[in-house]
């Protein structure tokens, strides 16, 4: 059998052994071709991984289908929970390997990877492990009938994950699916497959039966399309762009009407009132909300609305904090912002910056490339941005923020809701009544009050409008992975 094991050395000397095959039926197998995965900090190839097309997708789905009907569907909930906790323990054990792979592959600072990636993966596995034996139906009182409901797994669930937070997104797709008795085929992004492949090794070590969890890599138009159209896939969970989300919905509609959940883009506003207790604290959270992960987050707070009484002070302090943060080598201890994920994304962000300048917005800070190696962009602040300007309307997915002034609460709510997206928003005020009023008025799936970017496995996440369909995380996600059966027994009364 061909071996796909390779050794990867991180810039700090940490070595990781990795199997780069397609993980199907608890084995690493060959793909249709290979894909080079690139270190975005240098532009150099890290390694090559096996890539799937329709034939390999069929193998993965068949393995998952066989595992589902071969016993996982009716498996003991406590056994599912035990395996999930075992996988979580192994991820904790190998956390350093995983964070090094994540930072090399994605470009995020190593400190950020340590803070959130294995920690978040483990949290989600442990959280949903606790639900395995708590998926209860109800008894419904009806005259002359004993009626009860049963929550049953759907079958084979497909997951398609993005490149910006690969480990977390893998957990979001795997944990609720296997908790509820489904089997899964997850397609990673071709840009960031490495941490998922390392976790695939741990899936086998944890003792999951063959076919329950399958992890493949491939391009969207080939592997993603095949997974979305597969007649044995009963549900697709996708996180990524609006255009791809629409294509997945179309594929589901044209085939077997599989269930679809979508977590798509965002253009999230943060509203900053002039009664905040500390402008410095708000500046910290607003800065984190846009520039964390180089602005590559669907829920990034890319539109800042600042009340006129503190506008000038806020902008000055925001600029000062931004200038104090280091952009550079992800493996340097003092780095805050790493590179954009790829040359394509780098060019896309730079194009938006050019558009902002041409349309008359003021480039208050940044707007240029940093260095000549890798895909680094200066954190960029635009002011004097009109409501109809492209950079105010469209998702940029990079370190670019627009700051606007507002006068009163009704004015800013209208501005904040003037978007086709509705994923998240921030509200900053010391007035609790105002916080509640504004939070209730905003058309978004998550509202952060006096902070930004907090998250836990227990809290639902998803969007309004074109930011998506359905919810991931928390108990709310379970309904996307189960179907409800009603049983009605005539008891002759």
The tens digit of pLDDT for each residue in 358-414 reads 999 999 999 999 999 999 999 999 999 999 999 999 999 999 999 999 999 999 999
The tens digit of pLDDT for each residue in 284-324 reads 999 999 999 999 999 999 999 999 999 999 999 999 999 99
Q: Is residue 239 part of a domain?
A: yes
Domains in the chain: how many in total? Answer: 2
Q: Is residue 492 part of a domain?
A: no
Residue-level pLDDT at 1 = 57
In this predicted structure, the answer to whether residue 432 has a pLDDT above a threshold of 80 is: yes
H or E element, residue 262: strand 259-263
* Rounded Cα gap, residues 350 and 107, in angstroms: 18
In this structure, are 346 and 314 located in the same domain?
Answer: yes
In this structure, are 202 and 320 located in the same domain?
Answer: no
In this structure, are 106 and 50 located in the same domain?
Answer: yes
- Rounded to 5 degrees, φ, ψ at 458 are -85, -10
Beta strand residue intervals within 302-437, DSSP E: 303-307, 326-327, 335-337, 362-365, 369-370, 376-377, 380-383, 400-406, 424-428
C-beta neighbour count of 112 within 10 angstroms = 21
Domain that holds residue 134: 5-264+467-486
CATH code of residue 447: 3.40.309.10
Q: Is residue 166 part of a domain?
A: yes
Given strand 139-142, what is the order of strands in its sheet? Answer: 139-142, 145-153, 482-490
Q: Is residue 461 part of a domain?
A: no
Q: Which residue in 123, 263, 378, 472 is the catalytic one?
A: 263
CATH code of residue 194: 3.40.605.10
In this structure, are 247 and 290 located in the same domain?
Answer: no
The tens digit of pLDDT for each residue in 169-190 reads 999 999 999 999 999 999 999 9
263 given a catalytic annotation: yes
Measured CA angle at 287 (ends 285, 290), to 5 deg: 105
**What mean pLDDT, rounded, does the chain reach?**
97
Give the confidence band of 349 by pLDDT, cuts at 50, 70, 90: very high
In this structure, are 148 and 176 located in the same domain?
Answer: yes
In this structure, are 326 and 259 located in the same domain?
Answer: no
Q: Is residue 426 part of a domain?
A: yes
* Rounded Cα gap, residues 469 and 245, in angstroms: 10
In this structure, are 322 and 244 located in the same domain?
Answer: no
In this structure, are 156 and 288 located in the same domain?
Answer: no
Q: Is residue 288 part of a domain?
A: yes
In this structure, are 425 and 334 located in the same domain?
Answer: yes
């Amino acid at each position: 059998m061909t071996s796909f094991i390779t050794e990867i050395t991180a810039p700090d000397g940490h070595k990781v052994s990795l199997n780069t095959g397609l993980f199907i039926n608890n084995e690493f197998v060959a793909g249709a071709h290979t894909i080079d995965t690139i270190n975005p900090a240098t532009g150099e190839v890290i390694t090559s991984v096996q890539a799937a097309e329709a034939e390999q997708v069929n193998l993965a789905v068949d393995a998952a289908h066989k595992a589902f009907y071969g016993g996982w569907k009716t498996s003991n909930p406590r056994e599912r929970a035990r395996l999930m906790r075992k996988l979580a323990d192994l991820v904790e054990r190998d956390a350093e390997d995983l964070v090094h792979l994540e930072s090399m592959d994605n470009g995020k600072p190593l400190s950020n990877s340590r803070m959130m990636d294995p920690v978040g993966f483990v949290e989600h596995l442990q959280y949903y492990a606790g639900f395995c034996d708590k998926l209860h139906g109800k008894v419904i009182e009806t005259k002359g009938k004993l009626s009860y409901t049963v929550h049953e797994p759907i079958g084979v669930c497909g997951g398609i994950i993005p490149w910006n937070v690969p480990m977390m997104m893998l957990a979001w797709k795997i944990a609720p699916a296997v908790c509820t008795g489904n089997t899964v085929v997850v397609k990673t992004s071709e840009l960031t497959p490495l941490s998922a492949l390392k976790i695939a090794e741990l899936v086998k070590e944890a003792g999951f039966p063959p076919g329950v969890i399958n992890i493949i890599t491939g391009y969207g138009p080939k592997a993603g399309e095949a997974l979305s159209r597969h007649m044995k896939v009963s549900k697709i969970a996708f996180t990524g762009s609006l255009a791809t989300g629409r294509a997945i919905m179309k594929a589901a509609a044209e085939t077997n009407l599989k269930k679809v959940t979508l977590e798509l883009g965002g253009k999230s506003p943060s509203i900053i009132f002039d009664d905040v207790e500390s402008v410095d604290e708000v500046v910290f959270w607003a800065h984190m909300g846009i520039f964390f992960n180089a602005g590559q987050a669907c829920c990034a707070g890319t539109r800042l609305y600042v009340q006129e009484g503190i506008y000038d002070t806020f902008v000055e302090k925001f600029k000062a904090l931004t200038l104090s943060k280091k952009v550079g080598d992800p493996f340097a201890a003092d780095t805050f912002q790493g590179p954009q994920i790829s040359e394509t994304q780098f060019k896309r962000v730079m194009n938006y910056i050019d558009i902002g300048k041409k349309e008359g917005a003021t480039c208050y800070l940044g707007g240029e490339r940093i260095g000549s190696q890798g895909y680094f962009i200066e954190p960029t602040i635009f002011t004097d941005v009109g409501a109809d300007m492209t950079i105010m309307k469209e998702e940029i997915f990079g370190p670019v923020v627009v700051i606007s002034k507002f006068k009163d609460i009704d004015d800013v709510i209208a501005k904040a809701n003037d978007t086709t997206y509705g994923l998240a928003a921030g509200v900053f005020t010391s007035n609790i009544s105002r916080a509640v009023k504004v939070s209730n008025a905003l058309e978004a799936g998550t509202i952060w009050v006096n902070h930004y970017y907090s998250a836990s496995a227990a809290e639902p996440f998803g969007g309004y409008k074109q930011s998506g369909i359905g919810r991931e995380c928390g108990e709310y996600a379970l309904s996307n992975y189960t179907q409800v059966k009603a049983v009605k027994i005539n008891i002759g009364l």
